[in-house]
Amino acid sequence: MKIAILGKPFSEQIAPFIQKLFDELLRRNTDIMLVEHFQLYLQNTLNIPNDIPTFKRGDDLTGVDVVLSIGGDGTLLDTVTYVGAQQIPILGINTGRLGFLATISHDSINVAIDALYKGHYTLDDRSLIRVDSDQEVFDGINFGLNEFSVLKRDSSSMIAVHTYIDGEYLNSYWADGLVVATPTGSTGYSLSAGGPLVLPQTNNFVISPVCPHNLNVRPMIVSDRSVISFEVEGRSSSYLASLDSRSVPVDMNVQLAVRRENFVARLVKLHHVNFLSTLRSKLNWGMDNRNLFQK
């Protein structure tokens, strides 16, 4: 099996578990690749071979069976940008805090690797959101797993986001910003902005205003076959456009639109993990003492 690994620095308490991960992979004669910046960190942290080949964003990963993302949910979102249209399955190992997308705990690494080798997993295809603009905004990496946001900058006054669906006027959102989330992103920023939870396999976008000035606007679910476009107005000369964890300032005259990407992110799902159980365990969804004895 050929496995590519991306990751972020981890605590000293986690280091023994990551060492065991590499020991297990090498014991199984796994063909390993490391992203460049992570290899430099690991060489000073763990006992690993010096000749492990490296890769960088944009490299062809043909032949890779699985990509391991070692970190938190932000690391997994970043991993999606390395995989892109190659649609290689991604397994998230959580060394962060919440771990809603990176569901494998550090003390379950060997169990997860064994499941990979035995084929005891399924692939969960997650839709992506794509940003189109009349000027380059995200350096060619214009897709994301969670959400696209239009936000005011710093302490500037609110902005007006004039929004259209398939060219038809929807609304002008006077607010601190606007979030368009995928079903996967419905548990992230959109949820904090008051948006609904959406099951991963539904074909929808969620439009959620951030701190709206009008009390009569609420989050809205629309088909992800729609094209949602924006015109932004405000007292500042620019606003922030954010795609997952990547934010850039954008001039007010730049035209932006979002749609569903033509490819997906394939997340590895072990058989004991599912979206509803993760909702309950990570977000305390439905926490009620009366449910303690429910199966």
CA distance 223 to 38: 38
Q: Residue 157 carries which DSSP code?
A: P
Cβ–Cβ < 8 Å for 170, 163 = yes
Task: Tell the burial category of 291 from Cβ atoms under 10 Å away from its Cβ (0-12, 13-18, 19+).
Answer: exposed
Angle at 244 between CA 240 and CA 247, to 5 degrees: 25
CA distance 264 to 113: 23
For residue 147, which of 195, 188, 203, 204 has the smallest C-alpha distance? 188
Residue type, 213: H
Q: Which residue has the tokens 């043909």?
A: 62
User: Known catalytic residue: 139?
Assistant: no
Tell me the three-class secondary structure of 93-106, residue by residue. Answer: EECCCCCCCCCEEH
Cβ–Cβ < 8 Å for 43, 50 = yes
Q: Which of 73, 78, 224, 244 is catalytic?
A: 73
For residue 230, which of 127, 111, 134, 117 has the smallest C-alpha distance? 134
Cβ–Cβ < 8 Å for 87, 65 = no
Cβ–Cβ < 8 Å for 173, 217 = yes
Which residues are catalytic, by number?
73
